[in-house]
Amino acid sequence: MKFIKNFFERTEPLVQKGGKFSWLYSVHEGFFTFLYVSKDTSKSGTHIHDYIDLKRTMAMVVFALVPAILFGMYNTGYQHFKAIGELASTGFMEIFFYGLLKVVPVIAVSYIVGLGIEFVFAQKRGHGIHEGFLVSGMLIPLVMPIETPLWMVGLATAFAVILGKEVFGGTGMNIWNPALIARAFLFFAYPAQMSGESVWVSLKEGDKLVDGFSGATPMAQAAAGNISDINVADAFFGLIPGSIGETSTLAILLGAVLLIVTGIGSWKIMVSTIAGGAFMGLILNVLAGSAGLSPEVATYFSLPFWQHLILGGFMFGAIFMATDPVSAAQTEKGKWIYGFLIGILAIIIRVLNPAFPEGMMLAILLMNTFAPLIDHYVVAGNIKRRLKRATVKKQTA
């Protein structure tokens, strides 16, 4: 690998200001710092320096996503062969490679479009490539139905990068989670392609569904009052229709362990989000027998609170979306409040609003908006308490 480093160091003068290929500076710097820790240091101020820079941090999040990615590929093939009645006669590798060939193009489009835009903005502004899209480029495909057309993935990615991040100044300045901005854009702009039973199962032209097969997600079944049809084991392991990376609670929890052990993901936000969802689910269970509820709503109210945590995108959102270090709350107490409110709102939206059977996306985006306000009041409260203690201490001195 030394020859690669030597290549970058030899060509560095060519891309510096005034060099023959100065217009490639951002591309050159981006690839070099992705492979190697930058040798640059801060010119002023007090900083702590180590080898864990932002690119290494973002790469660790991508590693944490690997279990969800791999299982998403397998589940794509699993749902396909199950739909056409050939699951029993199809081997593991054939199932996996079918999903691989369906998922990889979605990931490729996300990275090509997103990084292309990042390169253009970086070059125009004369700075290095922002590292944030290393994660966003993977999250965007994972929250999409498998049958989302590739042009829609590209359009949503462009919308998220330009209007969700770059207009605010790039990575570290965005208000909302870019991946959720991409999904929200498609959800409201192309609702037919983001809902219904056909978008979750990949079928080739001419494939015939087996009799009685339904591609409805467990969330759609629950919203229709069919909670008895939900297979809890399949929902936990992920063998259900759903967005590419959101179905397997087990795979998501494996990623959570890595984020917590490395200190990259906030366990406080994860725990408080899950606690908020469980709390709201318990309240709905208590209210399930209330008068005036339609049969479907009453049945949905009675869904065991813990099942809410393994259905839809709740766990994926709690682990990988709510913990976004840019758009989440920053104060320690604020993280508990922020996560708890996300959990509560997600369950309220998914159960009480039939137009949005999956509430995690809107809950996180809403709390992204209020995260600075939460931090403001937490900090203001801390200052008030410290002033009060200082006043009391001065009076007793």
Q: What is the DSSP string of 229-296?
A: G--HHHHHHT-SSSSTTTS-HHHHHHHHHHHHHHT-S-HHHHHHHHHHHHHHHHHHHHHTT-TT--HH
pLDDT over 50 (residue 45): no
Tell me the DSSP string of 178-201: HHHHHHHHHHHH-GGGSSSSGGGS
Strands (E), 49-150: none
Highest mean pLDDT: which range of 49-53, 82-86, 249-253, 323-327: 249-253
pLDDT over 60 (residue 88): yes
Average of pLDDT values for 76-99? 92
Average of pLDDT values for 271-286? 95
Tens-place pLDDT, residues 209-244: 787 677 778 888 877 777 777 889 999 999 999 999
Contact assessment for residue 180 and residue 140, using Cβ atoms and an 8 Å cutoff: no
Q: Which of 104-118, 267-281, 306-320, 381-395 has the lowest mean pLDDT?
A: 381-395
Highest mean pLDDT: which range of 189-193, 204-208, 374-378, 389-393: 374-378
Quick one: pLDDT at residue 131? Answer: 64
pTM over 0.95: no
Q: How far apart, in Å, are the Cα atoms of 306 and each of 184, 221, 274, 310? A: 26, 16, 9, 7
Quick one: pLDDT at residue 102? Answer: 94
Question: Hey, where are the domains in the chain?
Answer: 2-35, 54-381
Contact assessment for residue 272 and residue 339, using Cβ atoms and an 8 Å cutoff: yes
Contacts of 267 (CB under 8 A, 6+ apart): 260
281 vs 132, residue with greater confidence: 281
Contact assessment for residue 200 and residue 148, using Cβ atoms and an 8 Å cutoff: no
Residue 269: pLDDT band by 50, 70, 90 thresholds?
very high
How is residue 112 written in tokens? 């090509």
Please name the amino acid found at residue 1. Answer: M
Average of pLDDT values for 34-59? 56
Tens-place pLDDT, residues 164-199: 887 777 667 788 999 999 999 998 898 877 877 778
pLDDT over 70 (residue 324): yes
Average of pLDDT values for 114-143? 78
Task: Give the three-class secondary structure for 78.
Answer: helix
Mean pLDDT, the chain, as a whole number? 83
How is residue 3 written in tokens? 């020859």
Work out the number of other CB atoms within 10 angstroms of the CB of residue 375.
19
Computed from CA positions of residues 28, 29, 35, 36, in that sequence, does the dihedral angle turn out positive or negative?
Answer: positive
Quick one: pLDDT at residue 16? Answer: 61
